Structure 1
Amino acid sequence: MQASGVELAGINCLFGQTPAIRDIDLMVPKGEFLALVGPSGAGKTTLLRVIAGLEPGYTGRLSIGTRDVTRVPARERNIGFVFQSYALFGHMSVKENVAFGLRVRPWRRRPARHVIAQRVRELLELVQVAHLANRRPGQLSGGQRQRVALARALAIEPELLLLDEPFGALDPLVRKDIRSWLRGLHDRLGLTSILVTHDQGEAIEVADRIALLRDGALEQVGTPEQLDRHPVNAFVHQFLGESVRFEATVRDGRAIPHLLEASAIPVALPDGPAVISIRPYEIGLRGGEGAGTVLFARRIGAFTRYEIDISGRVIEALAPAIDVPLSPGARCTLDLSRAHVFGVAA
């Protein structure tokens, strides 16, 4: 399977008079796993469909490997596409579904029957559903159908694999197993993959890089760590995880929170008013005395989630469950000294 990189330059697409995607410049190197994330209506699926050749009327330049495919129809782009709805043919068996993309090729490019049969057997073994070859899609679980859909996409030996919310219809446990398996498959086969997902945690878990869109435009592209530690704006910081925002005053490179009895925080901001954003799991709690009162405490997995009232402002914090728990009504102080802070001048 020969993977290729993708380059988009100045891509625009309109829905009527409304821009769906705007001035997209994006390079996806060969072998990378990229996740497209953003709020509903951000343009994620539209961008994926432009790459696949399924969205007519876009402008700009699109290359896959060394080929300019800007005006190349979808069937000639050699792309595998996996949909959330699986899009399997219900009247065909599993093996017939996987073979379909090869059997409908023009006869000059169509492999011999025995070659197709061998390819189908190999793929069904690869995606661990060989024992289901003769079943119909309606006889499979959601996770099994998604594996079959992936095998069908891989049958044509695509240069690029596109996945549009492929795990959305799966229950949480199956979803986690399938995405971990998919990442391993991507690495084993040396694929170039682009995943659309609304789940930030999913993107962080499986992707090498994340491209965050808003209103059809790219906000930031980078590794999960880069977007978390060095967001270009407040939207990026808040989109990729829970955050607590509060006003502060910056003096000599340190932010002094308003209305919070908390330690000053080092920041790279000019002196003056600022808005600070931090992750709830980076808020330390010191029990005993202080301006904070615990309103709520509940263990959730490896953390205890707290709601703290400080001067009428309710702050959420996540503390490791191994810490000595604070009960509702307890007094406490916030410790922000170890927090990674994102701040903007007000």
Structure 2
Amino acid sequence: MHLPAPERYDSMTYRRCGASGLDLPAIALGLWQNFGDEDPYATQLDIVRRAVDLGITHIDLANNYGPPPGAAEASFGRMLREDLAGLRDELVVSTKAGYPMWPGPYGDGGSRKYLLASLDASLRRTGLDYVDIFYSHRFDPTTPLRETLGALRTAVESGRALYAGISSYSAERTLEALAVAEEIGLDLLVHQPSYSMLNRWVEEGDPSLLDVVGRAGMGTVVFSPLAQGMLTDKYLDGVPEGSRASRGGSLRQDFLSESNLRHVRALNEIASARGQSLAQMAVAWVLRDPRVTTALVGASSVAQLENSVAALDHLDFSEDELTRIDEHATDAGINIWAPRSSSL
């Protein structure tokens, strides 16, 4: 049984999630990558243990995280039973549904049938009575928003979730969702979009997504602040064997174009001048906006997690630094979620 560090809440920064009463850590741990059946369970456990010891109270999951789908939830459920028992009330556990999960017409999308069946399966895998946040993982153009958000309301009213959220909805779709949510009596706590120095879509438009969530009093938990590893020192000199880009999947090698890498190298120089790693500056940069509640990071090792959390030691930017960053924080064409998630 893991005995968490007594000082775990002393150094972590917590931010209020929008206009709610919920505080979230400025850095949360996401189990999207590195928590599948092929990843050593001992390593997974070390990472989550260390996250707890660092004051990271928010653990983010989804039904399809693995591989195979469901594996990350099952692994985390095992940790809760065997190693983190007694800490449930100190944790904010979130999960999502919206992407393909099982065959047939009811295993994908935003229908009431799929969302509630998926949530029940997530609860079985994790061994939890409820999750703290349940998200609609993506906008489904084939299902009325009233049905999708009605399923989230049922999840909350039935006690299977404490809060409801949406992920990767555009500003336009978020405004629509907020209007429907108000009509049916659902409070939307939080939005979870991708956001990084190489993927700034949440700042675009009038109003932008950040404008919408800020005015609505929603929190914002941003995922992929390291651009799936591009905003680290890993790819400065090419694609290392065994790296995520070398394995294919969500981080494609064509993202690592010479044009993109020139910007990454320039950003790395700015980070070095600040006394930070590039990853630390990338996390600090998304947290510079007060409308961002939390930066959601992944980790393949304890050292990688500790490096990200050290970003909290230096969150301030000078105007000159921000101006120089803006020269290189340009769209890199890496928002793979846009065409599948919203009307971007």
Same fold (TM over 0.5): no
- Structure showing greater radius of gyration is 1
Higher fraction of helix? 2
Structure with the greater relative contact order (CA < 8 A, sep ≥ 6): 1 or 2? 2
Q: Report the TM-score when normalising by structure 1.
A: 0.31
